[in-house]
Structure 1
Amino acid sequence: MISVLLPVRNAASTLPFALDSLLRQSFTDLELIAVDDGSDDHPHDGRPYDGRGGSDRTTSTGSSGISATRAVLQEYARTDHRVRALEMRHGGIVQALNFGLTAARGEYIARMDADDVSHPERLQKQIDFLRQNPEVGLVACRAAFGGSAERAGGYKRHLDWTNTLLDHDQICLGRFRESPLVHPTVVFRKELVCRFGAYRDGPFPEDYELWLRWLSLSVRMAKLPETLYVWNDPPFRLSRTHSRYGVQEFYAVKAEYLAKWLTKHNPHHPRVMVMGAGRITRRRAEMLLGHGVEITAWLDIDPRKINRRVGGRPVIHRDEVPPPGRAFLVSYVAGHGGAEDIERFLGGRGYLPGRDYLLAA
């Protein structure tokens, strides 16, 4: 019933933890599609893989010529028929994900990463939810942070924030601030791929683009309140090392879908006012201009900017914000606590998120 899609490259040291957590799920009607994206890590020397829960699988591949990651997958596939170990030449995460999707036989697709761990009840709870809520196309779950909060405070804050977005409306409103879902926590109906397309390859985060595209096509999403996943944060995680996950790439793909949303929902389209007048804020907001949005003014609190024109537009003190219904605002105020400050300020002026303003940072 479920095809668990697990792309992997050079992850022999963490892969047994992930595989064991999936093969010990209480929901057993699954296939585990592990796509080896051209791993070339050094063959294992024969020591046992210390999987989570005491895995005693061993391998000796010093003379076989295959990678350590491939050796792990072959060993698991030999001992559990649910493991389908696929291999491809190194092509990247999007190619690996879509290769796995074409091989998937399940009614549902679950995601998993090779350095994380799933709770034993994860898949059962997510499948139960989708069965009981046929109008929902995708369900995620809350995740625990498995890295160092001191060394990776930004990742930890992002995860804490995503864990607050549980229902469809919260996910919809949150999508333009940041990616509202942790990719490997999701389970979705395979029919969505047939109807709305699979992962796209380009200069953007492939998971964020997928959520934005599916939400723009009215796919309903939800998140379980239970914490059923451990999201680890190794230093080699793709989101740390690949250019497609850069800040500017996030804002560029966000601008495309935010502009589409504004076309449908902004009663003053194409005009918006932007909260924030700093250089970085302006650069990110002005990405909307290429999609037909017109920025009429900046709203700020910096006295050095007030009553000046920046980029040909006036800078107005935010206390002079028009009454609700007179303008639509998009906030690009970033920084820790910035969005919360904007929410408090606009809420005190009678503005409602989604009706009068959106947070985009």
Structure 2
Amino acid sequence: MTRHSPAVSVLMPVRNGVKHLDEAMRSLVTQTFDDFEVIVVDDGSTDGTWDCLEHWASDDHRIRLFRSRPRGIVDALEIARAQARARYLARMDADDIADRRRFALQWALLMDEPEVAGCGCGVRYFPNSVVRAGARRYEKWLNSVRSPEDVARSVWVECPLAHPTFFLRTDVVEAVGGYQDHGWPEDYDLILRVHLAGHRLANVPAVLHHWREGADRLSRIDHRYEPEAFLRCRVHYLCLGPLKDTRDVIVWGAGPVGKSFARAAQDFGIRVVAFVELDPRKIGQEIHGAPVLGVTEALRIRGPLHAAAVGQYGARARIEGLLKEAGLLGGKDFVAVA
């Protein structure tokens, strides 16, 4: 990199985003931290997006524009990444709004904690009139994940950094292979590879990004973001991480979440040794050929990975507490997957 390279390269793919593009661009060019470039890839827009982008680029030399045929978000992100000149990569969606302090505070976190390879920040879904209860629950959970320890504990539950808030070291992203398309969420895929490579991640503990909700969001209409796709991604990387040295798992929870996880695990060649239940009516039964055990019996078992797979509020913390009290180590002997 030359000494004139910016500190941060912002990657922003867009397709037919003219409706909200001005808001997004305005929130970028007014950042209090200004040592960045914005690399926008127009992924085959037909609605006037390009004209809007040219207007912004003519007024601000930090904005660099690239055009491609419609190839999808992963290819668009990789086109942008190939053009990046900075030591850090940030993300922005073309219909979101970044708080003007976002880059400054993310930069400060990474400068203060050099052992952290990247961070996100707190988010708020908007407009309020279309935000569903499920999105608010996810928002609340995401905003509770702050420290590197929080991220490591939560990484198998869901993507612990919101994709449009990514602020990552360029060399780390390059080392793990950049964005890849495996038919599941590209952001979660990248974060799990960064995690398995041993890097620490965190979130700035402040809401610095307004995340637009709506029925036409890519995550609402693309099969790669369906729950089953997240589950396949999760299990694939569990096999490369906590399940690398054992192909056996004990699933805590015999409800819908636990059964779905068990089926996905079996599809990847993982043996479900047992299910664990608190409900005495279920203990002693068999599910998918595996016995349902009570808590006391399950806590005696060593070797298989214990996976907490109960969707009920508060269950995750309760199960993790039981496993820790039994002397099992989080991330090694057990993980939460729901």
Question: What is the TM-score of this pair, normalised by structure 1?
Answer: 0.84
Matched, 1:141 2:121: yes
**Does the aligned pair in 2 maintain the 1:324–1:356 contact within 8 Å?**
no
Report how far residue 90 of structure 1 moved: 0.7
Matched, 1:9 2:15: yes
Report how far residue 339 of structure 1 moved: 2.7
Aligned residue in 2 for 1:306: 283
- Amino acid in the other structure paired with 2:295: R
Trace 1:207-286 onto structure 2 (pairs within 5 A). 207-263=187-243, 269-278=246-255, 281-286=258-263
Deviates more, 1:131-140 or 1:289-298: 289-298
Instruction: Pick from 270, 276, 294 the counterpart of residue 293 of structure 1.
Output: 270
Trace 1:108-119 onto structure 2 (pairs within 5 A). 108-119=88-99
Alpha-carbon displacement from aligned partner over 1:80-110 (angstroms, at most 9, x marks no partner) = 1111121111111101100110111122111
- Residues 146 and 248 (structure 1), Cα distance of their counterparts in 2 relative to 1, 3 Å cut: same
Q: What is the rounded CA distance, in whole Å, between the counterparts of 1:149 and 1:166 in structure 2?
A: 27
Trace 1:45-194 onto structure 2 (pairs within 5 A). 68-148=48-128, 151-194=131-174
- Amino acid in the other structure paired with 1:179: C
- Amino acid in the other structure paired with 1:97: L
SS of 2:208's partner is: strand
Aligned residue in 2 for 1:342: 319
Q: What is the rounded CA distance, in whole Å, between the counterparts of 2:127 and 2:155 in structure 1?
A: 24
Deviates more, 1:304-313 or 1:117-126: 304-313
Aligned residue in 1 for 2:4: none
SS of 1:198's partner is: coil
Report how far residue 204 of structure 1 moved: 0.3
- Amino acid in the other structure paired with 1:130: L
Aligned residue in 1 for 2:306: 329
**Does the aligned pair in 1 maintain the 2:125–2:131 contact within 8 Å?**
no
SS of 2:128's partner is: coil
**Does the aligned pair in 1 maintain the 2:119–2:161 contact within 8 Å?**
no
**Does the aligned pair in 2 maintain the 1:324–1:350 contact within 8 Å?**
no
**Does the aligned pair in 1 maintain the 2:306–2:334 contact within 8 Å?**
yes
Identity %: 35
Larger Rg: 1
Report how far residue 148 of structure 1 moved: 2.9
Alpha-carbon displacement from aligned partner over 1:11-56 (angstroms, at most 9, x marks no partner) = 1121111100110011112111111111112xxxxxxxxxxxxxxx
- Amino acid in the other structure paired with 2:153: L
**Does the aligned pair in 2 maintain the 1:324–1:349 contact within 8 Å?**
no
Question: What is the TM-score of this pair, normalised by structure 2?
Answer: 0.90
Q: What is the rounded CA distance, in whole Å, between the counterparts of 1:299 and 1:112 in structure 2?
A: 42
Q: What is the rounded CA distance, in whole Å, between the counterparts of 2:15 and 2:312 in structure 1?
A: 33
- Residues 240 and 6 (structure 1), Cα distance of their counterparts in 2 relative to 1, 3 Å cut: same
Alpha-carbon displacement from aligned partner over 1:100-136 (angstroms, at most 9, x marks no partner) = 1011112211100111111112112222222333222
Instruction: Pick from 36, 44, 54 the counterpart of residue 42 of structure 2.
Output: 36
**Does the aligned pair in 2 maintain the 1:285–1:332 contact within 8 Å?**
no
- Residues 80 and 155 (structure 1), Cα distance of their counterparts in 2 relative to 1, 3 Å cut: same
Q: Aligned pair count?
A: 332
Structure 1 unaligned blocks of 5 or more: 42-67
How large is the Cα RMSD of the aligned pairs? 2.3
- Amino acid in the other structure paired with 1:200: Q
Deviates more, 1:133-142 or 1:215-224: 133-142
SS of 2:213's partner is: coil
Aligned residue in 2 for 1:58: none
Q: What is the rounded CA distance, in whole Å, between the counterparts of 2:288 and 2:77 in structure 1?
A: 42
Q: What is the rounded CA distance, in whole Å, between the counterparts of 1:151 and 1:23 in structure 2?
A: 27
